[in-house]
Amino acid sequence: MTLSVKRINDTFVGEVQGVNLADDHGAGEIKEIRDALMDHGMLVFHGQKMTSEEHVRFSQKFGPSEIHTVKQYLLEGFPEIIALSNRGDKGTKPIANGGAYWHSDITYKARPPMGSILYGLEVPPEGGDTLYCDMAAAYDNLSDAMKERIEGLKAVHSYLPRFMASRQIDEGFQDNKFELSDEQKAELAEVVHPIVRTHPENGRKALFINEGFTVRVEGMDEAEGQALLDELNAHATQDRHIYAHGWSAGDVVFWDNRVTMHKATDYDRQYARRMHRTTVQGDVPV
C-alpha cells in the first residue's frame, strides 16, 4: 500500500489517496492509517465502495464496535452500523437531519468512542455538508486566563434532553415517535468528563465539551456554568477551527472523536441522503 496523506485545512484534516477500504488490511497498513489519523485528527477518503461486512471489518481493525443504545437506527443484520438516512434503510427509521448540532459522538457514555467512520452512500447534489471542528486547535487558541480557569473542571453529559429535542425537530417529517425503554434510559444516565482532555496517544490537550450533550458544569452555579459552556462553544466554532466536508457518494470520513466535534447541515429533503456509520470504542477521558 502506498498511502499518501495531504493536509487540506490549516490545522487538521488529512485527505488520503491510495487506500481501498474494502481490502482486508494487514497490521502494518492499519498502523499507517492510525498514525495518519493521530497526525491529522480526521481523514477523508474518496471513491470508496464497501459492503457492510467490509465497513465493519475495516472499523474493527481499530477496536471493537460501539453499538448505539438507540436500536431503531441500527442496520438490519449489522448492529455495528448506524444508518443516518432520510429515507430509512434496511430495518431502520428515517432520520431527517441527525446530528444537526455541534457534538462529538456519544460523549454521554462513560467511555465515549475513540473514532467514527462515516460512509456516504447517497448524498444530495448540494447542501448536507458535515462541519468538523478542531478541538485541539481550539484549546491551543484559548487565552492563558481561560486555560487556567477551566483546568481541572468537569462537565456533565447526557443524551436524554437531546433525544427529546430531536424528536421535536423531526416532527411532521417522518415517524420517529418511538419511546426509549427503561433499560435504554438507564444506559443513558448522566456521566461526568473533564472539560479539557489529554489525548491518550499523542498527548495533545483538547476541549471536550459540546452543544449536543454537555448539559452543565459540575459544581458550578447553573447560569454561570451555561455561560462558560456557551463561551467555550463560541470560541471553538470560529471559522478558523472549522472544516466543511461537502459529500460525494463514495466518500468516507474517519474522525477522532477525542479531538474533533462535528455538526450536520441542512439540505433539500426531496433528495435522498443515506449514510452508514461505524463507531470504534474508546477510553475513559482523562
Q: Using CB under 6 A as the criterion, which residues of the chain lie in contact with ligand OGA when the complex forms?
A: 84, 98-99, 105, 116, 118, 130, 262, 264, 275, 277
Q: Is 119 helix (H, G, I), strand (E, B) or coil?
A: strand
Q: Please count the CA atoms within 13 angstroms of the CA of 36 that sit on its side-chain side.
A: 24
Q: From residue 95 to residue 134, what is the string marking binding to Mn ion with x (rule CB under 5 A)?
A: ----x-----x-----------------------------
Query: Which of ligand OGA, Mn ion, none does residue 277 bind (CB under 5 to 8 Å by kind)?
Result: ligand OGA
Strands 14-17 and 242-245 turn out to be unpaired
Cα–Cα distance between 23 and 70 in angstroms, integer? Answer: 30
Cα–Cα distance between 224 and 249 in angstroms, integer? Answer: 44
Q: Which residue lies nearer to ligand OGA by CB, 9 or 260?
A: 260
DSSP 202-266: T--EEE---TTTEEEETTS-HHHHHHHHHHHHHHHTSGGGEEEE---TT-EEEEETTTEEEEE--
45 touches 71 (CB < 8 A): no
Q: Which residue lies nearer to ligand OGA by CB, 139 or 254?
A: 254
Residue closest to ligand OGA (Cβ): 99
Query: Which of ligand OGA, Mn ion, none does residue 36 bind (CB under 5 to 8 Å by kind)?
Result: none
Smallest distance, Å, CB 113 to ligand OGA? 10
Smallest distance, Å, CB 79 to Mn ion? 17
Cα–Cα distance between 269 and 260 in angstroms, integer? Answer: 27
Query: Which of Mn ion, ligand OGA, none does residue 118 bind (CB under 5 to 8 Å by kind)?
Result: ligand OGA
Q: Which residue lies nearer to ligand OGA by CB, 83 or 150?
A: 83
Which helix H or strand E contains 38, and what residues bound it?
A: helix 27-40
Where do we find the cell 462537565?
155
Query: Which of ligand OGA, Mn ion, none does residue 84 bind (CB under 5 to 8 Å by kind)?
Result: ligand OGA
Q: Which residue lies nearer to ligand OGA by CB, 155 or 251?
A: 251
Phi, psi of 11 (to 5 degrees): -115, -20
Q: Which residue lies nearer to ligand OGA by CB, 128 or 225?
A: 128
Query: Which of ligand OGA, Mn ion, none does residue 275 bind (CB under 5 to 8 Å by kind)?
Result: ligand OGA
Smallest distance, Å, CB 118 to ligand OGA? 5
The count of other CB atoms within 10 Å of the CB of residue 31 is: 12
Q: From residue 38 to residue 77, what is the string marking binding to Mn ion with x (rule CB under 5 A)?
A: ----------------------------------------
Footprint of Mn ion (CB under 5 A): 99, 105
